[in-house]
Structure 1
Amino acid sequence: MQAAELFARPTVSPALELGAYEELWAQDGQSFKTLADLFSKSINDLPSCFVDLDVAKARAREVLRIFKSKHLSDAGFVVHGTMDYPQALRDARHPIQCLYYRGNLDLLSTPYRVAVVGSRDASEDGVRRARRLAKCLVKDGVVVVSGLAKGIDTAAHTAALEEGGQTIGVIGTPISETYPKENAALQEQIAKDFLLVSQVPVIRYSRQSPQWNRLFFPERNATMSALTHATVIVEAGETSGSLTQARAAIQQGRKLFILENCFSRGLKWPERLLSQGAIRVSDYDDIRGHLGIPAHQDR
């Protein structure tokens, strides 16, 4: 959006737009695709342009009550067309209009952000590789991004924190929820000290079944890719959600790195993604070189 358009727009109320976004999601059949299609036809419109304002206010009060019950006094909300909205999100196939967050949103403006992802049911070798990679990234001043899932995600986040680095969690549940429960303390630490983001509507999530809520996770992966400069797959099976992120990275023009060990397990996906533009890497120096990251003097 041009600067003139921003100044021409009336003052945006985050609370009102939050409620409008939640009301849009409350409608039957709504999805990230249908919402992206809606806003692609009216690129300067806010969520409040499409719903009754009194209903939007009521929805906002409902969400804020939920936040209060979860003791979330620091939850924030940004909408497309405002200064704080991360423009990198527009590279997604179905760009999200709104983003919930807790923490320091400025971390989305850092020079290097790299997603480290892989299997929830990770091998011991996979966990070691993820931890080593995260620590190398942190030493070079890179922000480590992952999804706070079990396995590789948890290893990447915790190693980044242990090394004194910065990390961002991109979750597939509302900002008010924790999944898996055993990562509650880790998620809270990331939200308080760094950045936690979610695109998942609070009310819709609370009112539908876990089976339907699982569909938010693949969309989360596409957003994680858009918010980063590159994705590294540490290890993954043929049905891993990490492959959703891999496809999104290629579609969005982000670099996609596949660790060498993924090619020696009889898997089909590494070669398939390699033919589509992924980069095969054997060690961290390969990744650093492809991204043009200056080496930290003490590394």
Structure 2
Amino acid sequence: MEMNREDLTIRDKLIYHAMTGVCTPNFMKHLYLSWMRDPFYSIEEIVNSYVPMSNETKQQKLKLSLEIAYCKRPFAELKELYRVNNIQVLTILDNGYPEGWLNSYLPPVVLFYAGNIRLLEQPCLSIVGSRSPTAYGKAVMDEMIPPLVAEGVTLVSGLAKGIDQMVHSSTIGYGGATIGIIGSGLDVTYPRENASLQRQMMAEQLVISEYPLGSKPERFHFPMRNRLIANLSLATLVIEAAEKSGSLITANLALQENRDVYAVPGNITSRLSDGTNQLIKAGAACVLNATDVLEEMKTQWR
């Protein structure tokens, strides 16, 4: 069962397992905690102690998947693949790993990135919203982005359609800093119309993924991606969101992790305002302009 990794550090072992694409974020956390207790735990012991895999059939399936992955792509080969693609790695063991992630329930153990990793050192605000914003939502974005950029806030979103795309492109247009967190490998663009924007951000800004190269944008990746958006920043701002939407998932994840959530109120007859209005009703900070957002954020900067 064991791969030839006797000389690998814990960090390298974690990176290798993340690169295989076999390990879920939850199992990566279990690997990390297990090896921090004892660096010599075998994969078999770790799999056998993983509670969600208490079923013997599931354990054997995971062990087989890992064995196949080891044989298919040795670590040295995978490292070279990432090197030639200019993809870097950040782990939970590294200096500069964000406190927001470190202090969350399910911190990402290994992340792949392209761009300026120092953007993680700046005060960050996550902005999420509808993939099909109305004219009102677009006007709100035009109002919000310039003052936030001028104040030096790094704006985080998910490189999806609509509000996400506007966050990134507008921030770049105003000369600001922006981080995209995606639910696929960094060599995959979803949606396709953001291909040029993603390439630009990977060269000049920062794009991050928990998923290795070649990973498709699977549906179940996005709730996991949303926790990274919610936990990285001081707060999450929601602009136009339906009552059941990915934006509301992100906002609720932020609330669960004791992060601040701000919401822009909307027309009570608009479906895309249901989510934001409900957030305000439930206690999220109601913000009407960028000044409101900055005043809320600055209480955390002090």
- Same fold by TM (over 0.5)? yes
Larger mean Cα displacement after TM superposition, 285-294 or 92-101: 285-294
What is the TM-score of this pair, normalised by structure 2? 0.77
The answer to whether the Cα contact below 8 Å between 1:20 and 1:59 also exists between their aligned partners in 2 is no
Separation in 2, partners of 1:138, 1:257: 17
Displacement after TM superposition at 1:59 (Å): 4.5
Match of 2:62 in 1: none
1:35 aligned residue (24, 28, 32) = 28
CA RMSD of aligned residues (A): 3.2
2:19 aligned residue (16, 19, 22) = 22
Q: What SS class does the counterpart of residue 130 from structure 2 fall into? A: coil
- 1:214 maps to a residue whose letter is R
Displacement after TM superposition at 1:17 (Å): 3.8
Match of 2:73 in 1: 58
Separation in 1, partners of 2:156, 2:40: 28
CA shift digits 1:177-201 (9 cap, x unpaired): 1111111111111111111111113
The answer to whether the Cα contact below 8 Å between 1:131 and 1:156 also exists between their aligned partners in 2 is no
Displacement after TM superposition at 1:270 (Å): 3.8
* Counterparts in 2 of 1:244 and 1:265: CA distance versus 1, 3 Å: same
2:127 aligned residue (116, 130, 139) = 116
Separation in 2, partners of 1:57, 1:241: 35
Unaligned runs of 5+ in 2: 1-6, 45-65
Report the structure number with the largest CA radius of gyration.
2
Residues 164-179 of structure 1 mapped to structure 2, 5 A cutoff: 164-179=175-190
Residues 1-299 of structure 1 mapped to structure 2, 5 A cutoff: 12=9, 17-23=14-20, 25-26=21-22, 30-40=23-33, 42-43=35-36, 50=43, 55=70, 58-61=73-76, 63-64=78-79, 67=82, 72=85, 74-110=86-122, 112-202=123-213, 205=215, 213-261=218-266, 265=270, 269-270=275-276, 272-274=278-280, 276-292=282-298
* Counterparts in 2 of 1:31 and 1:19: CA distance versus 1, 3 Å: closer
The answer to whether the Cα contact below 8 Å between 2:234 and 2:259 also exists between their aligned partners in 1 is yes
* Counterparts in 2 of 1:165 and 1:83: CA distance versus 1, 3 Å: same
Displacement after TM superposition at 1:60 (Å): 3.6
* Counterparts in 2 of 1:31 and 1:20: CA distance versus 1, 3 Å: closer
Larger mean Cα displacement after TM superposition, 123-132 or 179-188: 123-132
* Counterparts in 2 of 1:198 and 1:130: CA distance versus 1, 3 Å: same
- 1:178 maps to a residue whose letter is T
Q: What SS class does the counterpart of residue 262 from structure 2 fall into? A: strand
Separation in 2, partners of 1:42, 1:136: 45
The answer to whether the Cα contact below 8 Å between 2:157 and 2:181 also exists between their aligned partners in 1 is yes
CA shift digits 1:47-105 (9 cap, x unpaired): 9964889938934455456557xx62x21012212224333212333221111111111
> Identity of counterpart residues, as a percentage?
28
The answer to whether the Cα contact below 8 Å between 2:239 and 2:276 also exists between their aligned partners in 1 is no
Separation in 1, partners of 2:137, 2:40: 42
Displacement after TM superposition at 1:122 (Å): 1.5
Separation in 1, partners of 2:141, 2:236: 12
Separation in 2, partners of 1:236, 1:45: 45
The answer to whether the Cα contact below 8 Å between 2:240 and 2:276 also exists between their aligned partners in 1 is no
Unaligned runs of 5+ in 1: 1-9, 295-299
